[in-house]
A = this chain, B = another copy of it.
Amino acid sequence: MTELRVRRARIADVAREAGVSKAAVSFAFNSPERLSAETVTRIHEVATALEYRPHPVARMLTARQTTTVGVLSPQALPQVFANPFFALFAEGVAAVTEERGFGLLFISPLHGSLARAVGRATVDGMVVVGLDESHPEVEVIRRAGLPMVLVDAPAWPEHGAVEIDDHGGARSAAQHLVDLGHRDVLVVAIEPPVPGGNRAMSVSGRRLAGYRAVLEAAGILLGPERIVAGPATFDGGEAALLRAWEDGLRPTAALAMSDAMAVGVLQAARHLGLRVPEHLSVVGFDDLPISRFTDPPLTTVHQPVRLKGEEAARLLLATLATGQAGAATHRLLETRLVVRRSTAAPPRTRGQEVVGHD
Contact = CB atoms under 8 A, between A and B. Distances in A.
A111 B61 CA distance: 23
Interface stretch (A34-42, A130-138, A319-327, A345-353): A319-327
A107 interface: yes
Q: Interface size class for chain A?
A: 35 or more
A43 to B, nearest CB: 17
Nearest to A97: B77
A199 interface: no
B53 A323 contact: no
Interface in A274-324: 289-290, 292-295, 319, 323-324
A58 interface: yes
A340 interface: no
Contacts of A119: 53-54, 56
A152 to B, nearest CB: 18
A238 to B, nearest CB: 8
Interface in A250-296: 263-264, 266-267, 270, 289-290, 292-295
A81 B2 CA distance: 34
Contacts of A84: 84, 87
Contacts of A143: 51
A6 interface: yes
B94 A53 contact: no
A57 interface: yes
Interface string A1-23: 11111111000000000000000
Interface in A57-114: 57-58, 60-61, 66-68, 76-78, 80-82, 84, 87-88, 90-92, 94-95, 97-98, 101, 103-108, 110-111
A147 interface: yes
B98 A87 contact: no
A78 B101 contact: no
Given A84-B84, A234-B289, A122 B78 contact: no
A237 to B, nearest CB: 9
Contacts of A54: 119
Given A1-B325, A145-B8, A295-B270, A95 B78 contact: yes
Contact of A106 (B3, B106, B325): B106
10 tightest A-B CB contacts, nearest first? A77-B94, A295-B295, A81-B91, A78-B95, A81-B90, A6-B145, A78-B91, A2-B158, A267-B293, A57-B60
Interface of A: 1-8, 51, 53-54, 56-58, 60-61, 66-68, 76-78, 80-82, 84, 87-88, 90-92, 94-95, 97-98, 101, 103-108, 110-111, 119-122, 143-145, 147, 158, 234-235, 238, 263-264, 266-267, 270, 289-290, 292-295, 319, 323-327
